[in-house]
Amino acid sequence: MYKVQDLYKEHGNKLSLKLVAGEGGMQRRIMVPEAQRPGLSLSGYLKNHAAKRILIFGKVEIEYLRDLKPAVRRSRLKKILFDMTPAIIVARNYRAPEELIMLCDDQNIPLLRTSMQTMDLLSRLTLLLMEAFAPTVSCYGTLVEVFGVGVLIRGDSSVGKSEAALGLIERGHRLVSDDIVKVKRREGNHLEGCGAELTRHHLEIRGIGIINVAHLHGVVCVRDTKRVDVVVKLEAWDDHAFYDRVGLDEKFCDILGVKVPFHVLPVKPGRDVVLLLETIALNHRLKDMGYNSAKEFNTKLLEMIAFKKETRAEK
Amino acid sequence: MMKLIRKVQVKNSLGLHTRPATVIVQLLQQSASRVSFTYRRETINARSLLSILMLAASKDARLTITVEGEDADAQQTMSRLVDAFENSFGENGNYGYQC
């Protein structure tokens, strides 16, 4: 549940917000990540007026209200304020009309003021709200940036996720989060992972304990957020299982409705997991650039077979 | 297979800090069931030490334990976990951490 107070606390400085009136309504819920300039609604046209949106008063709204007679001004403002209205923000440091201040105090609707330009405020506020409302899920796994590719390492407890992460860090890659990764679906349909505030940049290694990677290896080895590009599941080697030998069929897993390339990586003594993870990351980059090693090889093979067939026919 | 869900309360004065978390992780090593804790709409794998610590659950916090597994194992795991919470993880309720 996102409240006006949360917005004010988290982003008040960024948006240079100042509370003018309606302090009692700071606990109001913001139900939709949308903001609106109430231009047309102020003129009295209230059909399809979105009451759940944050209202933003810019130059046009304020000037228009100034041109109205006080009684009309009050009645028009009253009509656009609902129980669901989360808050009102006046841009460009305009002084809010007396009637608006009184109404906000009466109805406990937070009235805020900012020095930002109206359009600037609208776009930044929308972005911040979209971020706060983005669907989130907690994934059990370790997120590491390998050659710029976000690799989410999953697998059962004690399969060696943290050890793999430590090996990657040692080779100059970056840790985002160990054990638990908060994954958010961002606009543009991509996933972004980050760690919990408390355990961020910490690894738990059996036999050693909890270590702080940022302190041990330096800040260059950590980062706060990273896009999740590939998911790799580590699992104990099973002699009877059939593992991907060619790589022609690409597997995907679904996180928050987004399809992410997925690999199963069997682990057994003698297999260098760190090197394998690096290879997966590099291969992913290559595929992203349009080159698929397995497909390329297959095409070459098919050409070779066709060529042999032709020469045989000629003979 | 069965799924057990129970609510427990953190009783030791220092809350779920490193030592109780270690007790939980150690206790779960003997179990094959899938165990998770839910606290403040956050669900975590109870086998992961860092995840338990991440919850930063204080004294009197109410956690939901979910155990999924074979009937006997799940029941035993749940009763052991509940006992551990009830006994404040062997810590003195007043003085907390004992060296």
Q: What is the pLDDT of residue A28?
A: 94
Closest among A136, A132, A197 to A1, alpha carbons compared: A132
Decide if A140 and B45 are in contact by the 8 Å CB cutoff. yes
Beta bridge partners, A181, equal: A139
Q: What is the pLDDT of residue B92?
A: 59
Annotated catalytic residue, options B4, B12, B17, B91: B17
Res. A198: pLDDT tops 60: yes
Length reported for chain B: 99
Closest among A68, A61, A64, A65 to A91, alpha carbons compared: A61
- Whether chain A has a CB inside 8 Å of the CB on B43: the answer is yes
Is residue A188 very low, low, confident or very high in pLDDT (cuts 50, 70, 90)? confident
A285-302 pLDDT tens trace: 999 999 888 888 889 999
Q: What is the pLDDT of residue A35?
A: 94
Q: What is the pLDDT of residue A7?
A: 94
Q: What is the pLDDT of residue A312?
A: 85
Res. B95: pLDDT tops 50: no
Minimum Cα–Cα distance from A202: chain B residue: B50
Kindly list the structural domains of chain A, giving each domain's residue range(s) and its CATH number in brackets, ordered by start: 4-133 (3.40.1390.20), 136-297 (3.40.50.300)
Q: Say how many C-beta atoms besides its own lie within 10 A of residue A221's C-beta.
A: 20
Closest approach of B9 to chain A, Cα-based (Å): 22
A204-240 pLDDT tens trace: 998 999 999 999 999 999 999 999 999 999 999 988 8
- Whether chain B has a CB inside 8 Å of the CB on A140: the answer is yes
Best residue in B48, B55, B58 for a mutation probing chain A (most A CBs within 10 Å): B48
A103-159 pLDDT tens trace: 999 999 999 999 999 999 999 999 999 988 999 998 899 999 999 999 999 998 888
Res. B35: pLDDT tops 70: yes
Q: Which of A180, A198, A210 sits opposite B44 (nearest CB)?
A: A180
Closest approach of A282 to chain B, Cα-based (Å): 29
What are the structure tokens assigned to B18, written together?
Answer: 């490193």
A70-115 pLDDT tens trace: 999 999 999 999 989 999 999 999 999 999 999 999 999 999 999 9
Res. A67: pLDDT tops 70: yes
Decide if B44 and A157 are in contact by the 8 Å CB cutoff. no
H helix count then E strand count, chain B: 3, 4
Q: Which of B42, B48, B49 sits opposite A140 (nearest CB)?
A: B48
**CATH C-level class of B2-88:** alpha beta
Q: HSE of B98 in the Cβ direction (CA atoms, 13 Å)?
A: 9
Res. B98: pLDDT tops 50: no
Known catalytic residue at B17: yes
Is residue A189 very low, low, confident or very high in pLDDT (cuts 50, 70, 90)? confident
B40-75 pLDDT tens trace: 888 999 998 889 999 999 999 999 999 999 999 999
Decide if A199 and B48 are in contact by the 8 Å CB cutoff. no
Res. A60: pLDDT tops 70: yes
Measured between alpha carbons, how far is residue A149 from residues A146, A173, A286, A303 in Å? 5, 10, 11, 33
Res. B99: pLDDT tops 80: no
Phi, psi of B51 (to 5 degrees): -65, -40
Q: Give chain A's mean pLDDT.
A: 92
Q: HSE of B11 in the Cβ direction (CA atoms, 13 Å)?
A: 14
Q: What is the pLDDT of residue A157?
A: 81
- Distance between CA atoms of residues A54 and A25, nearest Å: 13
Q: What is the dihedral of CA A44, A50, A56, A60, to 10 degrees?
A: -30
Three-state secondary-structure class, residue B7: strand
Closest approach of A142 to chain B, Cα-based (Å): 11
Closest among A107, A95, A121 to A16, alpha carbons compared: A121
